[in-house]
Amino acid sequence: MFKTLKPTIRLVSAGMAVLLAVSMGTAGAAETRLRIQTHFSTETLSGQMAQEFIDDISAMSNGEIQVEMFFSSSVVKSAETFDAAATGILDCDMTGGSYQTGKNPAFQFAGDLLGGYQNPYQQMAWLLHAGGYEKLNELYNAHNMEFIGWWIPGPESLSSTKPIRNVEDFKNWKFRSPPGMATMVFKNLGASPIVMDFNEIFTALESGIIDGADAANLTNNVGLGLYDIAEHTNFPGFHSMPADHLTCRKDVWDAMPDHHKAIMKVAMQALALRNSTINEVKNAQTAKDLRAKGINLYEWSPEELAKYRDAVQKGWTEFATTPEAKALLESHIAFLRDLGAMK
């Protein structure tokens, strides 16, 4: 009798052990908690899309990835977000690489080639198909951060209280500039760039401290209220196409389970596609709305665009002063030439 029962007891015990293991696995499911800051406000299209990204990673991870997002650079200034993440005040930075050019000019080429790529799809192709991830992380890892992805709204449009019809109009034009190569290129064209935080632009424009701003594309400029003051802009944009990044502290990234890492990267690529396409649609509609309101939209001639791009290409070599910067610039140029987008 006992010989018959013993296998049954062992089978029941083994079954209970499996159930216990499954229960423990569920109770101890991997959890990733992230504190992320973005410079975008919730009122802008980009801010709304950042929230969509959070919703996506939460849904795809079944709630295992939880994000506390700080909009409008509410913890530290936009340019300080990277350091705040690297040192543990935050976990991740969702601003842009060009804020970090003071650390290494290579960060310029990790965010905005200024007139190099003609659309977001070319730039994303470099990231996805020309070893961009690996090249960028050689730079980011050296600063205790992991590059996770880009999202690129597309070419930006300037806002101005004065006409900006051609290169000549940039002379003595005081404008808000992001840090990095843009200040050098525009200064060489006769403008007076002033580096200031993203969220100080409206007040500076309203008070007349600046004549205009290099801030965002048409739609996000509307979200910032810039065309309530500035009656001049350029469209289609051409001068800049910054890639906003998501980068997280290296130890935080390394501690994530592989499926969380995959979710984060894939969600960023999905965000990039949605962002580029919705901005193309929104900017076209915004251009119609602005014209109807009497805002002046200037489309630059090929001759004026050539003058600007000539200044930009000189700026590339002038700005690439470190081995890391030269390596990234060379990679971008080689890819553009392969595409036939540059001679």
CATH number for the domain including 93? 3.40.190.170
276-296 pLDDT per residue, tens = 999 999 999 999 999 999 999
* Pairing of the two strands 296-298 and 232-234: parallel
pTM of the model: 0.83
Is 213 among the domain residues?
A: yes
**In a shared domain, residues 106 and 222:** no
328-343 pLDDT per residue, tens = 999 999 999 999 988 8
Is 288 among the domain residues?
A: no
**In a shared domain, residues 88 and 211:** no
**In a shared domain, residues 145 and 233:** no
User: What integer is the mean pLDDT of 40-45?
Assistant: 88
Domain region containing 73: 32-154+242-281
217-269 pLDDT per residue, tens = 999 899 899 999 999 999 999 999 999 999 999 999 999 999 999 999 999 99
Higher pLDDT pick, 178 / 106 = 106
Is 19 among the domain residues?
A: no
**In a shared domain, residues 230 and 264:** no
Number of folded domains that form the chain: 2
**In a shared domain, residues 218 and 139:** no
**In a shared domain, residues 58 and 80:** yes
Is 291 among the domain residues?
A: no
How far is Cα 148 from Cα 136, in angstroms, rounded to an integer? Answer: 10
How far is Cα 250 from Cα 264, in angstroms, rounded to an integer? Answer: 14
**In a shared domain, residues 210 and 233:** yes
How far is Cα 174 from Cα 49, in angstroms, rounded to an integer? Answer: 31
**In a shared domain, residues 179 and 134:** no
Is 68 among the domain residues?
A: yes
Q: Kindly tell me if the per-residue pLDDT of 53 is higher than 70.
A: yes
**In a shared domain, residues 246 and 234:** no
Classified as helix, coil or strand, 209 is coil
Is 23 among the domain residues?
A: no
**In a shared domain, residues 269 and 166:** no
**In a shared domain, residues 144 and 229:** no
Is 321 among the domain residues?
A: yes
Is 290 among the domain residues?
A: no
200-228 pLDDT per residue, tens = 999 999 999 999 999 999 998 998 999 99
Nearest to 210 by CA among 247, 164, 254, 246: 164
> Cβ distance 206 to 183 under 8 Å?
no
**In a shared domain, residues 119 and 89:** yes
Chain centroid to Cα 172, Å, comes to 29
